Amino acid sequence: MNKSGKIAVVTFLVLALGGILVLKQSKNPFVGRELNVPARSAAQSVPREKALPRLVDLGADKCIPCKMMAPILEEIRREYQGRLEVTFIDVWKDPAPGRKYGIRAIPTQIFIGPDGKELFRHEGFFSKEDILGKWRELGVEIR
């Protein structure tokens, strides 16, 4: 590669890194907003008398990190049934929710309080321990 080609590659990398840093540091416009994410099936929705906190995972069933999240989400759904609603939305099959909620990467987990307001969102793989720890950190008791 000649000298001008190397300079172009380095310039591109520097600009890309700068863009990523700006996006990461910008305040997320969705945090604190009410999210009305519909349940995807009768099996996934939990009849309840009071509103529950919700964990909404937006991903795709063919995405590797999303596949890694699937058993974790199912385990949390099963263990915390009646105390936490867990929903998975495949944004490759149904891209509208991804656009609606400003998803930039998958998987994205959105933590929604009982009042319907977004409390936090995370992009990428998130372990069960980290998910439960984040609920505690947010002051939402799901035990």
Does 106 qualify as catalytic in the annotation?
no
| Selected catalytic residue, list 60, 66, 72, 119 | 66
To the query of whether residue 12 is one of the catalytic residues in this protein, the response is: no
Task: Give one DSSP letter per residue of 55-72, joined into a string.
Answer: EEEEE-TT-HHHHHHHHH
Residue in 35, 46, 63, 68 annotated catalytic: 63
Both tokens assigned to 27: 């305040």
Paired tokens of 28: 């997320």
CA separation for the pair 56, 82 (Å, rounded): 16
| Residues sharing a CB contact under 8 Å with residue 134, sequence separation 6 or more, in sequence order | 111, 120, 122, 126
* Catalytic (active-site) positions: 63, 66
